[in-house]
Amino acid sequence: MSGYRSTTKLALASSQPSVKAASKQPAIQVSNLSIVFDTNRGQMIAVDRVSFDVAAGEFVCIVGPSGCGKSTVLNTIAGLELPFEGEILVEGSPVGNPRPDIGMVFQQPHLFPWKSVRRNIAHGPRMLGRSAKEACAIADDLIAMIGLKRFADAYPNTLSGGMQQRVAIARALANEPRVLLMDEPFGALDAQTRAVMQDNLLELRDRIKATIVFVTHDIDEAIVLADRVLIMSAGPGRILREVAVNLPRPRSSAILIEPTYLALKRDCLEVIRAEGLRAFNQSDSS
Amino acid sequence: MEIGAEAIVQNKTPKRAAVTAGADRPGRRPTSGRFRRLNVLVGVLSIPLFVILWELISRSGIVNMVLFPPPTVVAAAVLEWMRSGQFFWDVAASLYRVSAGFLLGSALGVLLGILTGQFPVVSSLLSPLFQILRPIPPIAFVPIVILWFGLSEAGKLFLVVWGVFFTVWLSTHIGVQKVDRGLIRAALMLGTPRRQMLQEIILLGALPYIVVGLRTAVSISFYTLVAAELAGTFAGVVYRIEIAQQNLQTGQVMGGLAALGLISFIADRLFAALAERTVWWR
C-alpha cells in the first residue's frame, strides 16, 4: 500500500507543470466498451462499442437521455459493473474491482448515516490504513475546503441535500483519487442549489487537479462544467458527437447567457433533437 | 461557500423564531395555551378518575364484590403479598425467566439473522424452516414442553427463547437485506475491503431494524412468560396469580395483573430509552 501511495504522489508532482499534457498517456482509455444486460425479454445491449479517451486533468461531461447507458459506462470505469466487453485502462492499468485511485460521487450522497461529517470523510483514508489522527486531519482540510467547518460533527440527516452532496464529494476526494467519477451528482437538487454546487465544483477542481468524468442529462450543466462534452444516444448507448467547450476559465454559471455559449448549446441541442426524433420514430414503428 | 452554509442555517432558525414570534400575537397564544393546560389536567386525572369510578362501582352492590374487588382491597392484597416476602421471589423468578430467555433468544436471532441475511445459501437452507415454525403460537408448545422438560426451568427458558427468537431473527434478516446497496457501493469505492463490510456497513445499516425487532421481542417475552408459568412452576408473578385464582383471592389476582403490567411497562420504557442510544445518529 505504501508503494502505491508513493507512486501516486510522484505522478501528481510530475503532472503539475503542464496542465494540457496532450502527449502524455490519457488518464482514462475506453476502447470498444460493450455491455449487455440479461433482461426477462432477452438480452439488451446497454452500451454498444463506446470508445473515448480522457486526458490527465481533463473535465469531460457525458450527456444523454435517461437510459442511454451513460451511468453504466461510469459504473464500469469505477469497477462496479462487471462483466463487460472491450478494454478500460485507468492510469494505464485495466479496471476490475473498485480501486482507491478512482473516486466516485453518486446521484444520492450515500453518506454513512451513523458517522459524523468528519468521520464520513475520514472513512476512506482509514480503510487505506491511515491512523485515526491522520485521517481526521485529511477530513478537516476537506471540510474547510467545502465550507462546512461548523458541521464537522453533525450527522448527515441534519444536513440539507446540497450540503450532503458536498460532503460526498469531499469523502470521494479524501483518498486523493487521480480520477473522479460523478454520476449526476446534482440531479436531485433544486435549480438554485445546483447552480451554486456547479460553481463550487469548478472552484474545487482548480485545487485538486484530478481528472473528472461527469455524467448528466442537463446540457447546460455539461457546457458550464466541461472541457469536452460527449453526447450519447439511447438504445443502444453510443457516442454521437464530441463537442469541445473552448469557453474561457474561470467560469461560473453566469456564462449561461454568453453568445458563444448559446452557439455551443445550439449545436448540442440539434444533435440531441435529431437523435430524440429518430429514437421516437423507431420506438413508434417497432 | 461559507455563505451557502449560512443561508441553510438561517433556513433552520425560522422555526425557533416562529415560536417566539407567536408571543407577539396576543390573539392566538393564550387560547392554545389554555387548551394545552386543559389537556394536561385531563391527562393527570385519567387514572385517579378511573380508580375512583372502579371503587364506587365495586362498593355500590351492582357487581359481586368478591369477584370484582375495589382498588382498596387490591392494594391491601398487594401490601400483604409484599409483607410476606413472596413478592420479591415471585418478581425475581419471573424477571430471571424473561431476561434469560430474551437474551438467549435475541442473541440467536441476531446471529442467524445476519447469516441468513448475508449468505443466500444459508437463507435457502434455513428460511423455509423458520417461516413454517414462526407462525405457530409459542403458547401451543406448552404441552410438549411439559413432556420434554417437566416443570424444570429449562422448559420455561425454552418457551421464552422460542417466542423471542423468530421475531428477532426476522427483523435482523430483513434489516441486513435492506441495507442500502448504495452505501455498500460507496464503501467499496472508498477502499473498504469486502471482509470488513459486515462490521463497517451492514451491522450498522441493519441496526435500526434489529432494535425494532428487539423491542417487539420484549413484550413477546412477557407473553410467553405467562404461558411458561401457567404450565406449572413454584414461584413467579403469573404463578401467584394462578394460585390466588384457585383460592378465590380476586384482590391478589388483580394485584398480580397490575404488577405484571407495571413490570412489562417499565421493561418496555427502559428498552425504548436504550434503543434511542443504540441508534445514536437519529
Q: Which of A120, A145, A176 is the last residue of a domain?
A: A176
For residue B247, give its domain range.
Answer: 71-278
The total domain count for chain B is 2
Does residue A248 lie within any of the structural domains? Answer: yes
Check whether the bond before A185 is cis (ω within 30° of 0).
no
Residue A60 lies in a domain: yes
Q: Is residue A227 part of a domain?
A: yes
Residue A3: the pLDDT is: 38
Read off the amino acid at residue A50: V
- CB of A177 within 8 A of CB of A105? no
Choosing from A141, A176, A211, the residue where a domain stops is: A176
Domain that holds residue A166: 108-176
Contacts of B185 in chain A (CB under 8 A): 80, 104, 106, 110
Is the CB of residue B106 less than 8 Å from the CB of residue B220?
Answer: no
Residues A86 and A169 in one domain: no
Indicate if A194 and A285 belong to the same structural domain. yes
Gyration radius from chain A CA atoms: 19
- Tell whether A192 and A95 lie within a shared domain: yes
Are A119 and A96 in a shared domain? no
Q: What pLDDT is attached to residue B51?
A: 93
Interface touch A155/B281, C-beta < 8 Å: yes
Chain A residue numbers with beta carbons less than 8 Å from the beta carbon of B281 are 113-115, 155-157
Q: What pLDDT band is residue A7 in, cutting at 50, 70 and 90?
A: very low
- d(C-alpha B102, C-alpha B116), whole Å: 20
How far apart (Å, rounded) are the C-alpha atoms in residues B251 and B254?
Answer: 5
Q: What is the predicted pLDDT for the residue at B14? A: 40
pLDDT value of position A209: 82
Cell matching residue B31:
387560547
Cα gap A120→A182, rounded to integer Å: 18
Q: Taking CB atoms and an 8 Å cutoff, what residues of chain B touch A189?
A: none
Share of chain A above pLDDT 90, in %: 54
Domain of B169, CATH number, reads: 1.10.3720.10
Cell of A159: 444536513
Residue A68 identity: C
Name which of B189, B276, B278, B281 to mutate to probe chain A: the one with the most chain A Cβ atoms within 10 A of its Cβ. Answer: B189
Partner-chain contact A123 B192, CB within 8 Å: yes
- Residue of A110, A149, A193, A253 to mutate, testing the B interface (most B Cβ within 10 Å of its Cβ): A110
Question: Using CA atoms, how far apart are residues A127 and B200, in angstroms rounded to an integer?
Answer: 10
Q: Please tell me the least confidently modeled range out of A9-23, A84-98, A179-193, B89-103.
A: A9-23
Cell of A224: 458550464
Domain membership flag for residue A202: yes
Cis peptide leading into residue A250 (ω within 30°):
yes
The Cα–Cα gap between A250 and A165 comes to 22
Q: Is a pLDDT exceeding 60 seen at residue A23? A: no
pLDDT of residue B3: 40
Q: Is the ipTM above a cut-off of 0.90?
A: no
A22 pLDDT band, cuts 50/70/90, is very low
My answer on whether B89 and B147 are in the same domain is: yes
Residues of B in contact with A148 (CB under 8 A): 5
CB spacing of A157 vs B1 below 8 angstroms? no
Does residue A128 sit at the B interface (CB-CB below 8 Å)?
Answer: yes
Residues with pLDDT less than 70, chain B: 1-31
B184 touches chain A (CB under 8 A): no
Chain B residues with CB-CB distance to A111 below 8 A: 186
Is position A38 within any domain?
yes
Give the residue from chain B lying closest to A130, CA to CA.
Answer: B191
**Mean pLDDT value across residues A107-128:** 96
Q: Which residues contact B131 (CB under 8 A, 6 or more apart)?
A: none
Task: Identify the burial level of B72 via C-beta atoms within 10 angstroms of its C-beta, where 0-12 means exposed, 13-18 middle and 19 or more buried.
Answer: middle
Partnered with residue A43 across adjacent β-strands are A38
Name chain A contacts of B188, Cβ cutoff 8 Å: 80, 97-98
Residues of B in contact with A106 (CB under 8 A): 182, 185-186
Instruction: Tell me, yes or no, whether A201 and A143 share the same domain.
Output: no
CB contact under 8 A, A80 and B188: yes
With an 8 Å Cβ cutoff, is A192 touching chain B? no
Q: Are residues B147 and B188 in the same domain?
A: yes
Domain boundary among A129, A156, A176: A176
Residues A67 and A184 both lie in one domain: yes
pLDDT of residue B31: 66
Chosen from A112, A126, A155 to mutate, greatest number of chain B CBs within 10 A: A112
Identify which of A98, A115, A203 has the shortest CB distance to residue B188: A98
Q: Is B15 on the interface with A (CB under 8 A)?
A: no
If asked whether residues B76 and B55 sit together in one domain, one would say: no
A256 shares a domain with A196? yes
Q: Is A151 a member of any domain?
A: yes
> Which positions 197-236 of B are in contact with A (Cβ < 8 Å)?
200-201, 204, 207
Looking at the predicted structure, is the pLDDT value of residue A13 above 80? no
C-alpha–C-alpha distance, residues A104 and A75, integer Å:
9
Assess whether B100 and B210 both reside in one domain: yes
Q: Is B96 exposed, middle or buried (0-12, 13-18, 19+ CB in 10 A)?
A: middle
Per the CB < 8 A criterion, the answer to whether B191 and A128 are in contact is yes
Same-domain check for residues A60 and A96? yes
Dist CA A25 CA A19 (whole Å) = 13
pLDDT at residue number B263? 95
Q: Which residues have C-beta within 8 Å of that of residue A180, sequence separation ≥ 6? A: A102, A103, A104, A105, A172, A173, A208, A210, A211, A212, A213
A97 with A226, same domain: the answer is yes
* Statement to judge: residues A116 and A223 lie in one domain: no
The reply to whether A196 and A215 lie within a common domain is: yes
What are the backbone angles phi and psi of residue A232, rounded to the nearest 5°? Answer: -105, 155
Residue A79: pLDDT over 60: yes
Same domain, B52 and B77: no
> Does residue A197 belong to any structural domain of this protein?
yes
The Cα A66–Cα A71 span in angstroms is 9
The number of distinct structural domains making up chain A is 2
Inter-chain CB proximity B8 and A163 less than 8 Å? yes
For residues A51 and A33, the answer to whether their CB atoms sit within 8 Å is yes
B1–A172: do the CB atoms touch at under 8 Å? no
Residue of A nearest to B191 (CA): A100
DSSP labels, B144-197: HHHHHHTTSHHHHHHHHHHHHHHHHHHHHHHHHHTS-HHHHHHHHHTT--GGGH
In a domain, A14, yes or no: no
Instruction: Please indicate if any CB of chain A lies within 8 Å of the CB of B180.
Output: yes
Q: Average the pLDDT over A45-71 and give the result.
A: 91
Looking at the structure, do residues B203 and B78 belong to the same domain, yes or no? Answer: yes
Whether A284 and A195 map to the same domain: the answer is yes
**Domain presence at residue B226:** yes
Side-chain-side CA neighbours of residue A232 (13 Å): 33
The residue of chain A with its CA nearest to that of B10 is: A160
Same domain, B106 and B217: yes
Give the pLDDT of residue B17. 40
Bridge partners for A59 per DSSP = A212
- Asked whether residue B221 falls in the same domain as residue B158, the answer is yes
- The CATH number given to whatever domain includes residue A47 is 3.40.50.300
- CB of A100 within 8 Å of any CB in chain B? yes
Q: Strands across the sheet with A28-39, in order? A: A42-54, A28-39, A85-90, A93-94
pLDDT of residue A29 exceeding 90, the answer is yes
Residue B65 forms part of a structural domain:
no
| Same structural domain, B19 and B100 | no
Give dist(CA B114, CA B119) in Å, integer: 8
